[in-house]
């Protein structure tokens, strides 16, 4: 019987993540109107050459999102906020 991988655990973000300006960009389908409505499915596959001490992912979405890793639902959101108080989650994906 194969063992199931342990689901990743919620993580505290590094302090500099909260004090420095973020360089990440929102992702959207090519050609999508910036203010247009749509429901999209984004997927990213990658391989790690070795296990890092931590593998933090910070995720948010404009409306709703679900984050899956290796078939396991890790989190969903975001919590209600506004443009000055945007919510996100930090998840450590390292097993």
pLDDT tens digits for range 43-75: 888 777 888 888 888 888 777 888 888 888 888
**pTM score:** 0.63
The residue-averaged pLDDT of 8-17 equals 62
Sheet holding 9-10, edge to edge: 9-10, 89-92, 56-59
Q: How far is CA 75 from the centre of its chain?
A: 8
Q: How many CB atoms lie within 10 A of CB 91?
A: 19
As a whole number of angstroms, the distance between CA 8 and CA 93 comes to 5
The answer to whether 58 touches 13, Cβ cutoff 8 Å, is: yes
């Amino acid at each position: 019987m194969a063992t199931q991988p342990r689901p990743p655990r919620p993580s505290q973000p590094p302090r500099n993540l909260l004090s420095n300006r973020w360089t990440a960009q929102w992702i959207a389908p090519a050609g999508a109107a910036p203010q247009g409505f749509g429901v999209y499915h984004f997927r990213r596959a990658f391989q790690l050459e070795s296990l890092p001490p931590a593998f933090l992912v910070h995720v948010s979405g404009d409306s709703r999102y679900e984050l899956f890793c290796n078939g396991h639902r890790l989190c969903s959101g975001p919590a209600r906020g506004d443009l000055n108080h945007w919510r996100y989650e930090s998840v450590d994906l390292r097993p």
